[in-house]
Structure 1
């Protein structure tokens, strides 16, 4: 896996030189595009003007990778170690990586009145997780429009609220930075200890968390809600995603509050409303965002386990979050329920789920779990940290969540490179990664069925 991208990138380049055409699958082009953006970000962050103390190449590469994959894991503190130029580079990489370079390419092509080739259409369909070219134009513009509106509103609220304590230029700059970071589900912050100083600040916490939720809900869901505006008229997928998001957030919120209620190092010293805000923040931020208002390293292992589950599930499809995705998790639950109750079809809200969708969900679960297992195994070889801390770090990387139990800066070089690979795999999607590595072959040969025992 480690050598896949350079090898295939080189092969594609040599083929392009010989034939004049880039014969690569859409997932490969997407992966190469993100890798190119990471390379550019690495060079910019490596410049002396980007950091108060020049970064070494590995640190610049790690930070650029974390920004482009909208993760938020950091080996240096953006608020302390980066200059304003470096911070702008970082948040620009977050914005470009979050919305995807394909969005800008498609919108630019449409704006210039150019017709996209079949290969470019396939590339855009892969990026937007769409099957219809007719919906591509609407989806592309919806992504930009929704993103800019939400980011502007969040930035304005944060700037106005923070202007009470900071000069207007500082408040506006930090408001824009955190609005982009929150909506793109990235955990970078310009305050010491993330957002710890706002642990009991309802305006800051609610603004940040709602931006995270909207970014992780999915553009198709937001667009459907905006157009229909009535629950009965919403698409079944939209209703399932909204219900699933509410239930998962409430379960996580309740579990974290109960488990950390008596912990003097986290929620124990706060008032009841402060505890509610802190528990809410830690629940929402695990949906692959990465902000924190309490010390994650001092949370109980039971709470860390709940957070790892929430990180692994992630947010919605065609959203700015990663993980196996909430839709995948719901389909798997529905499939298990159908099998237990011996139903022939997998049904959600009186709609049958196609067998191919169930197979995709199972494949995504296994590939993601395999990445977590392999990453954890390798990191335990290089590091002497507590097992829970290592597992937490690996799941945070695979799900592109910027949360850490404090071990990221102290990791060895091989472990940091491993995290970069996991973040990259988590960003482009494990299934896309597998599709890129192995050429899909369809056989016309049909085989007889055989009884095979499982369970």
Structure 2
């Protein structure tokens, strides 16, 4: 009976169900007295919110991660982050490799869906690269961060902090333990180039996409040999790092960055540009950003990282395709062309669907929360986009939200990690439409 039910579940439904089960297990573990620093059970909603945020690599919290959770609770959180960042399918694949089990065709299909690649060819090789690359990058990041933290704390604590924050940064989660020193995220390290650059490198590497890893490994620095997907990701990522950095520097140089040196202001402007896609760390007080800077952050959070990565958002390829389509429409060009290649029409329609679905979720959630609580609209929108894009940045209002508003954010985080469009389509992918096309009629647009 179980085998029959499993065969009737689509791959996307299997992934969505798997994430739900992991969140539920994490919630039950975090509710235990051993998971809290006080030794008392944590209420269900707080545990559920934290488990969802960790598994969906978001970083939004309703309690201080260091002050509320014990070492056991923190280990549960970082384990959920690692599983959520790589995807539980990839994790399961790693165990299968370790046990030298044969990878079935169904498992290959699940892995393909999990890491968001176009076909199953070479999927086993890609999964090995993901596991080895993750171990390498997180390991190097942990060593560098440990050496930096060692100056401010005992070695054993610095080692633990190095490992925790390296995993959190690589998985674009944004959870931190800096509450131990009364800090809000990495504000206390906003002048430390090594710490900031290490965190940004981990965020970008984890958020660039596993397919891009494979392409870079195969073709090295030969840009012309890269796949179209890789070219778009790299160029768009550079633009989304450079342009916002300049904008943040211009907007805050006489405000939030006024007391900083020129180099420190540039470093923090770069961090403000990188971390919304979609890590959730911050080296400046988010609530103190100007309205224009907060709006720019919302835009960056909405865009997010790259497909098949640890990042969230609508993804850089989505926004790139829509902008290119707009250009082709304005110039009356036949088709969408870039790097001497023509995009398929299906990519354009999917990009439009992803953008619309993501935007609709953000708008509806903002409206509902504004009905529940009398809060500044920008503040609500900031946390809503942060949740649905699995970013984790907040102006500080999340802990004070009413239970119903927290439930809305939980749903947004879950949909943002699974993929809102993919989740919706998972309930219709087995339906078959009749092969009948209705009469065509024109309507006015714009």
TM-score by length of 1: 0.93
Q: How many residue pairs align between the two structures?
A: 438
Matched, 1:109 2:105: no
Q: Which of 89, 101, 114 is equivalent to 1:127? A: 114
**Which residue does the alignment assign to 2:245?**
253
Partner of 2:121, secondary structure, is helix
Q: Which of 29, 36, 45 is equivalent to 2:30? A: 45
Matched, 1:67 2:54: yes
Partner of 2:308, secondary structure, is coil
Cα distance in structure 2, aligned partners of 1:20 and 1:220? 32
Deviation at 1:29, TM superposition (A): 0.8
Q: Which of 7, 14, 19 is equivalent to 1:34? A: 19
Deviation at 1:22, TM superposition (A): 4.5
Deviation at 1:82, TM superposition (A): 1.2
Maintained 8 Å contact 2:115/2:309: no
**Which residue does the alignment assign to 2:218?**
227
Matched, 1:406 2:396: yes
**Which residue does the alignment assign to 1:239?**
231
Cα distance in structure 2, aligned partners of 1:169 and 1:120? 39
Deviation at 1:123, TM superposition (A): 2.0
Deviation at 1:122, TM superposition (A): 2.8
Deviation at 1:273, TM superposition (A): 1.5
**Which residue does the alignment assign to 2:434?**
443
Deviates more, 1:44-53 or 1:397-406: 44-53
Deviations 1:120-147 (A, max 9, x none): 3332221122232222101211111111
Deviations 1:215-241 (A, max 9, x none): 111111122112211223222221221
Coordinate RMSD, CA, aligned: 1.6
Residue 382 to residue 221, structure 1, CA distance change in 2 (3 Å): same
Q: Which of 413, 416, 422 is equivalent to 1:432? A: 422
Residue 17 to residue 164, structure 1, CA distance change in 2 (3 Å): closer
Maintained 8 Å contact 2:108/2:124: no
Maintained 8 Å contact 2:78/2:168: yes
Deviation at 1:113, TM superposition (A): 4.5
Cα distance in structure 2, aligned partners of 1:18 and 1:184? 33
Cα distance in structure 2, aligned partners of 1:138 and 1:159? 31
Q: Which of 359, 377, 387 is equivalent to 1:387? A: 377
Partner of 1:437, secondary structure, is coil
Deviation at 1:110, TM superposition (A): 4.3
Deviation at 1:25, TM superposition (A): 1.0
Maintained 8 Å contact 2:117/2:211: no
Cα distance in structure 2, aligned partners of 1:262 and 1:72? 29
Deviation at 1:45, TM superposition (A): 1.0
Deviates more, 1:64-73 or 1:278-287: 278-287
Q: Which of 196, 200, 204 is equivalent to 1:213? A: 204
What runs of 5+ residues in structure 2 fail to find an aligned partner?
A: none
Matched, 1:340 2:338: no
Cα distance in structure 2, aligned partners of 1:251 and 1:20? 50
Cα distance in structure 2, aligned partners of 1:110 and 1:152? 21
Deviation at 1:165, TM superposition (A): 2.1
Cα distance in structure 1, aligned partners of 2:2 and 2:91? 26
Partner of 1:275, secondary structure, is helix
Residue 304 to residue 115, structure 1, CA distance change in 2 (3 Å): same
Residue 351 to residue 293, structure 1, CA distance change in 2 (3 Å): same
**Which residue does the alignment assign to 1:175?**
162
Deviates more, 1:217-226 or 1:71-80: 217-226
Deviation at 1:111, TM superposition (A): 4.6
Deviates more, 1:52-61 or 1:226-235: 226-235
Cα distance in structure 2, aligned partners of 1:136 and 1:43? 34
Partner of 2:311, secondary structure, is coil
Cα distance in structure 2, aligned partners of 1:427 and 1:113? 30
Partner of 1:406, secondary structure, is coil
Cα distance in structure 2, aligned partners of 1:64 and 1:155? 23
